[in-house]
């Protein structure tokens, strides 16, 4: 396990920078849809290599979906209801695991955000902040993933079931040299990273003509 970068599949980490997701950074995940799927994919990429993760104040997170995406559940601690000491909880986790997922609600205080970032930097932990609904993070992120549109495959009008989804994602942030856009397929087709099959792009019925940069 690298000292400076978290292990990763060539997918999400490499979107940030060629070397992958750097330790000690704060990453945001937001958008209209796909926050949970993106977060789980990031966890799967990281924890698969023997790292440990934790998810704080997110009781809705689907463990089975996590497992299907490749998250080793025995290396993922869940603290669904941290209570009033949540900041202490995050602090203790940043000290001891490699990746902490946080689901704040509402607006987070600037000094709190700075303390978390400083601690993460000091301990070499990646903090992932999910930005659901009205959640706002007062600091700029080292890297930010925002899903801009989504399209499901497999379900019809009265037949089939949800199989895969195409997710258009924008990546930016202080440590991302160039803002990028890409399209992901989740869950990835078996044996494949979340590469986009060429045919799938035309199937997308609200393709904004994003260039595929992955």
Partner 1 sequence: MMAMASRSQRETRLVVGWCPNWPAQVFAHESEPVAVLEKGRVIAATASARESGVASRQRKREAEHHCPNLVVCDRDVALEARRFDPIVAAVTMLTPLVEVTRPGMFTFDVRGPARYFGGEEALLDRLRGVLTPTLMGKIHIGIADGRFAASLAARRDAIVPKGKSREFLSPFPVSMLGDEELTNLLVRLGLYTLGDFARLPADAVRTRFGPFGEQSHRQARGLDESALHAKPPGIDLVTRAEFDPTVDRIDQAAFIGRGIANDLIEMLGREGLDCTRLIIEAETKHAEKLSRCWRAEDRFSVATIVERLRWQLEGWLSGSAPEATPTAGIEWIRLVADEVVPSRARQLGLFGERSDADERAIRGLDRLRGLLGPDAVFIAFMRGGRGPSDRVQLVPWGEPIPSSRIEGPWPGRHPRPSPALIYPRPHPAVVRGEDGETLRVLADGRFSGTPATLSINGASALRIDKWSAPWLLDEQFWDVDAHRRRARCQLLLEDRRALLAFVEGGNWFVEAEYD
Q: Which is nearer to partner 1, 74 or 192 (CB)?
A: 74
Nearest to 117 by CA among 136, 142, 98: 142
Phi, psi of 48 (to 5 degrees): -60, -20
Site for partner 1 in 148-167 (CB under 8 A): 149-152, 155-165
> Least distance in Å: CB of 76 to partner 1?
7
The distance of closest approach from Cβ of residue 174 to partner 1 in the complex, given in angstroms and rounded to an integer, is: 27
H or E stretch at 121 = helix 110-123
1 is an interface residue for partner 1 by CB under 8 A:
yes
Closest CB to partner 1 among 3 and 178? Answer: 3
Q: Is 79 in the site for partner 1 (CB under 8 A)?
A: yes
Residue 203's closest CA among 159, 146, 147, 164?
164
Interface with partner 1, residue 42, by CB under 8 A: no
If one asks whether residue 122 binds partner 1 (CB under 8 A), the answer comes out as: no
Residue 65 touches partner 1, criterion: CB under 8 A: yes
Cβ(143)–Cβ(171) under 8 Å? yes
Question: Six-digit token pair at 182?
Answer: 């890409």
Q: Is residue 145 packed enough to be buried (19+ CB in 10 Å), middle (13-18) or exposed (0-12)?
A: buried
Residues that bind partner 1 (CB under 8 A): 1, 32-37, 40, 50-52, 54, 59-68, 72-83, 85, 88-89, 92-93, 95-98, 149-152, 155-165, 187
């Amino acid at each position: 396990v690298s000292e400076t970068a978290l292990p990763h599949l060539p997918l999400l980490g490499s979107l940030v920078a060629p070397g992958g997701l750097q330790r000690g950074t704060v990453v945001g995940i937001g958008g209209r849809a796909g926050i949970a799927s993106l977060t789980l994919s990031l966890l799967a990429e990281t924890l698969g290599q023997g790292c440990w993760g934790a998810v704080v104040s997110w009781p809705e997170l689907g463990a089975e979906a996590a497992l299907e995406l490749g998250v080793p559940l025995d290396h993922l601690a869940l603290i669904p209801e941290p209570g009033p000491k949540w900041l202490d909880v995050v602090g203790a986790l940043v000290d001891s695991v490699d990746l902490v997922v946080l689901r704040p609600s509402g607006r987070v205080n600037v000094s709190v955000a700075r303390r978390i970032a400083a601690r993460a930097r000091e301990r070499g932990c990646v903090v992932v902040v999910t930005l659901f609904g009205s959640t706002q993070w007062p600091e700029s992120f080292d890297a930010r993933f925002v899903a801009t549109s989504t399209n499901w495959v497999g379900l019809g009008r009265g037949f089939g079931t949800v199989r895969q989804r195409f997710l258009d994602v924008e990546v930016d942030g202080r440590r991302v040299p160039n803002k990028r856009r890409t399209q992901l397929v989740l869950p990835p087709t078996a044996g494949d990273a979340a590469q986009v099959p060429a045919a799938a792009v035309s199937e997308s019925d609200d393709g904004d003509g994003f260039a595929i940069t992955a």
